[in-house]
Each structure stands twice: as C-alpha cells, then as structure tokens.
Amino acid sequence: MGKVPLSVAIITKNEEQNIRGCLNSVTFAVQVVVVDSGSTDKTLEIASEFGCDIYREGWYGFGAQKQLAIDKCHQPWVLVLDADERIPEETKKAITDIVRSKDVRAAGFSFPRKNFFQGRWIRHAGWWPDRVTRLFRREAGRMTQVPVHEAVEVKGVVDPLQVPIEHCTESSLSAILLKIDRYSTLGAGESYRMGKRSSSYGAFGRALLTFLQNYFLRRGFMDGAQGLTLAVTDSINKFFKYAKLSELERTSRDDKRTGPSSGRDK
C-alpha cells in the first residue's frame, strides 16, 4: 500500500529487547522519530537499520521527553508509542484509513491497549481495555508535562477506536523492582509538589486497599499467577510511593527545624 502520512514518536533508553518489534509494526509510516537518552546497548543500531530519525537528548521526564519527539515530527498525523508497544495488522489498517481520508473530523483517536505480562493477556484489575489516546493531528496534540503517568492531551474531538495497541509489559521481576523504585520516587515527588501528604501507616493502608481492590474487587485472581504477581507489585509500588512521600515531608520538616547553616564552621 506504500507509506502513509504519519509520524511515529518513540523515546528510548536501552530498549534493544523491544525496539525491533515496535519498529517492525510501524513500517507503514513515512517518518519514525526516536529520541534516545543515553542507550549503551544496540537500540540505536537497530533504529538506524529501520531508517529512523534519531536524536540524542538528556533526560527531562517522560512527558517532556515524549514532547521532544513530537516536536521533531513533520507529518500531519502523529502516533506516540512506547518501545514495548506494537501495532497489530487490524490497527495498522484502521490508522491507514484515518490518515489517508479527507473526511475525518476528529482531532485524535484513542485505542484499547492489550497488556501482556509473562506471556499472558491481562484482562482484569483495570488492565483491559486500558484505553489510551495515541493518534492525533500534529497541531492538536501535546503531552502532559508530568514526570510519570504522562498522557496525550488533544484540542478537539477524540474518537474511540476498537482496534488495539499491544503492550508487552516488563516481565522480569528484578527489572520490575527497579522500575517500582524509580516510579515511586517520581510519583512521591509529584504528589509532594501538589501538596499531598502521607505517613508510613497511610502508605500501608493504601497498599493493602490497592491489593484488595485489584485482586478481589477487580477480579485480578482470574488472570492466574500473573494476576497475583501484578496485584502484589502494584500494591508494593503504592506503598513505596506514599512512604517516600512521608519521607519527603519528614525531611522538609527537619530542614526547616534546623535552618540553614550559619557558615561559621569552615
């Protein structure tokens, strides 16, 4: 069918395990922009194989980083993807029809997202349909400027599509723990700036409620061992986010109590 007037925006850092599958799924786009923040593996080598427009940047937070990629797109339509996401054939056809049509009125489109964890499609605990806005007219969409849980904001009508994006979530427990540490730190900092406060007991209560909600009320138990693992890791993430928020509050309070150094001791 040939390439279509679409730019794909992707941010990367050490994504050699994921990036080839992602790029293989968007070869129908005229332009693929990869903004990399210091990969030391074969990520950029693989991106070069696909003829991507590659840019090397520092790290500015998820929202700002993805906006950098969007700003480098030059096609009338933009699709934002993570390196561990894929566009299946049915979705490719729907996107192709949209960007080639002259009758489309919407400014953007959302997709249900199929999340796969340890080889299993996770359908419960809020993981499906996990709708996300990812396709938009270049002049109409921007990323929210938050350090974590960023999203596309579109000026205009956003129509829902029924074809999915596939998301191959991190399945290594060691990598998940590192991710929890990073994301809980970012989330705690953002919550602190918003004026939210917590305590260790409050963090435990939130973690417990998160587990009960995801595993029982949202039927995470129906996703087998993977559902249990996700319910536990989500509750751990919640605990550390609010425990770190409590730590930030305590540190700030201690700093105010001690005051600035007089500078007499040299």
- Under 8 Å CB-to-CB from 63, ≥6 apart: which residues? 143, 144, 145, 146, 147, 150
In a domain, 264, yes or no: no
Is 14's pLDDT higher than 60? yes
In a domain, 263, yes or no: no
- Among 168, 191, 216, the domain-final residue is 168
- Among 123, 144, 168, the domain-final residue is 168
Q: Residue 13: which domain range?
A: 4-168
Mean pLDDT of 198-214: 97
* Whether 26 contacts 87, CB under 8 Å: yes
**Band of the pLDDT at 1, cuts 50, 70, 90?**
low
Residue 218: count of CB within 10 angstroms of its CB: 16
pLDDT tens-digit profile of 219-248? 999 999 999 999 999 999 999 999 999 999
- Is the same domain home to 28 and 150? yes
What's phi and psi for 244, nearest 5 deg? -70, -35
Is 262's pLDDT higher than 50? no
Q: How many domains does the chain have?
A: 2
- Is the same domain home to 178 and 62? no
| Measured distance CA(66)–CA(112) in Å, rounded | 20
In a domain, 222, yes or no: yes
- What's the predicted TM-score (pTM) here? 0.92
Is 55's pLDDT higher than 50? yes
In a domain, 59, yes or no: yes
Rg, C-alpha atoms of the chain? 21
- Among 168, 191, 215, the domain-final residue is 168
